[in-house]
Amino acid sequence: MSTASASTPPWHREAFSHEALLYAGQDEFAGAALAFLRSGLQAGEPMLVVVRGSKIAMLRAELGADADRVQFADMEEIGTNPARIIPAWRDFVDAQPPGHAFRGIGEPIWAGRSPAELAECQRHEALLNLAFVDSGRWRLLCPYDTTTLPSDVLDEAHRSHPVILDRDDERPSSGYRGLEALAAPFDWPLADPPSTTEQLAFGEGALTRVREFVRRHADRAGLGQKRAADLVLAANEVATNTLCHGGGRGILRIWTEADALVCEVADRGRIDQPLVDRQAPALGEENSRGLWIAHQVCDLVQIRSFAAGSVVRLHMRRL
């Protein structure tokens, strides 16, 4: 995907325009977001806004009666696991009439995100370019608060968005990676597990042991019956992928963090389809089923593909 020139704003093209809005504090956010939404209302464009609840309340109050013409969704509900955000946007995009312009605002990144959540939010932002490259003529505005986010997060926003908006300035991002780089197997490093990690080597015929191992640790961590069952289901699905597509053998590691139980499956396979875990599998399609299920039941899933193999890390909060 090529970026637009400064003289030809990207939303005048018949294409998806993924834009990072750099704003300084609540007032700048309100001014930019309301201008964006009122422009869309004037043009009769369908709109979806996915931000935190406090910002939804503010935007609704400012828009008044026009707020009913905008769809809103709470990012703290949809985006707790950032991999669930693209499917939500997909539902919105697929509901639009062919050839009709539309727009959205999505803010998955804020200062309170944990380091693991932040990394997956940044991955999400990059994958939006791939997920919607041929999705029609629409704008997606992704706000970043420059007063609360560190410089490295803002730098990454330039790399994952083809267009940057900063107050009254709009320009192509000189740091944007491009689709080919964004589609490459994802190999950002993961934090090292603690020294207290327990592990289980498994192979063919060992899924029962995998489930028992995870269940024992989930019960010990106090996840509760439902969340323990969900983690066992996710681990079983990922381990099944290892047996079918990851060389037939893997290592299961599990440990407790301050607020979560973490379960990791490592094998010698390669995950080279960047959107495989963010697209609902078609009826009868089994290859992507396990990763999709893991995202639906876990609070966070981290997927990496390294030269030596792949790692899937499942996070379940201890509520």
Residue 236 in contact with residue 286, Cβ under 8 Å? no
Note the pLDDT of residue 2.
33
| Distance (Å, whole) CA 296 – CA 84 | 8
Ranges of each domain in the chain: 10-182, 198-317
Note the pLDDT of residue 289.
87
pLDDT over 90 at 5, yes or no: no
Across the chain, mean pLDDT equals 93
Give the three-class secondary structure for 250.
strand
Note the pLDDT of residue 156.
98
In degrees, rounded to 5, the angle at the alpha carbon of residue 153 between the alpha carbons of residues 152 and 155 is 60
- What's the CATH superfamily of 198-317? Histidine kinase-like ATPase, C-terminal domain (3.30.565.10)
Q: Around 130, how many Cα atoms within 13 Å sit in the side-chain half-sphere?
A: 19
In degrees, rounded to 5, the angle at the alpha carbon of residue 235 between the alpha carbons of residues 242 and 109 is 105
Domains 10-182 and 198-317 share a fold: no
Give the model's confidence band at 284: pLDDT under 50 very low, under 70 low, under 90 confident, else very high: low
Note the pLDDT of residue 3.
34
Q: Is the dihedral of CA 87, 88, 90, 95 positive or negative?
A: positive
Mean pLDDT of 118-141: 97
Convert the pLDDT of each residue in 215-274 to its tens digit. Answer: 999 999 999 999 999 999 999 999 999 999 999 999 999 999 999 999 999 999 999 899
CATH 3.40.50.11570 correct for 10-182: yes
Note the pLDDT of residue 7.
40
Share above pLDDT 70 across residues of the chain, in percent, rounded to a whole number: 94
| Distance (Å, whole) CA 241 – CA 252 | 13
**What does pTM read for this prediction?**
0.93
Q: Which two tokens stand for residue 197?
A: 């990690």
| Distance (Å, whole) CA 203 – CA 259 | 30
Note the pLDDT of residue 14.
67
